[in-house]
Structure 1
Amino acid sequence: MRRATLFAALLAISVFVLEMGSLVFPVVHRAIHATIGIEISWQIQFVLTTLLSIGPGARFFRRGVRALSRGAPDTNSLVAPGTGAAFSYSIFVLLAPELLPEQSRGLF
């Protein structure tokens, strides 16, 4: 569990810095634009978030679906659809950004 938590923290912090760091620290935003660009940043975030979801985060999905199927939802049952919806929307933004208004193109 400790190894899974450390791995999850490393992935989550990396995604957080790439996406939210630019909102908090404009210098991060400028550095990302000047070096790898937003599109590559989004692709990196996709890979990291996918690893997080199928690795350490998978237990939330398994437990959440199991609890819902038993008719006894718990916290995992809230986490699974919430993170699943955010992940699905972000994939849509990544794969087809032109189908959304520019102000709606954000990763979650």
Structure 2
Amino acid sequence: MFGRKKTKDQPLTSSYTETEEGIIIRLSGRLDSVSSAEFQEEAVQKCRGRSTTLDMDGVTYLSSAGLRAILALDKAVGRNNKLSVINAKDAVKDVLDMSGFSEFI
């Protein structure tokens, strides 16, 4: 890739914590086309029908595939529960804002 500096891949890691209010998912690394399908499958299964907080403090990159995974998670959480995103870094927050996601999560 001409003119672009290669960066070290940062695979996505996730941890799930159950609380009385719901589930907290802590993410770290890249939420992109490589990692989003596996994350989506696991998160939807664990969080279906439960309020969920997505702690994105460690997320370094968010692609459209990552946005699709968050949308699928929001649908799985359901109408009677809430999906919240917290601690997103500026670059990730910009993607959420530009895509309109910050208006509904």
Identify, as 1 or 2, the structure richer in helix. 1
TM-score, with length taken from structure 1: 0.29
Give the number of the structure with larger relative contact order, counting CA–CA contacts within 8 Å between residues 6 or more apart: 2
TM-score, with length taken from structure 2: 0.29
Q: Please identify the structure whose Cα radius of gyration is greater.
A: 1
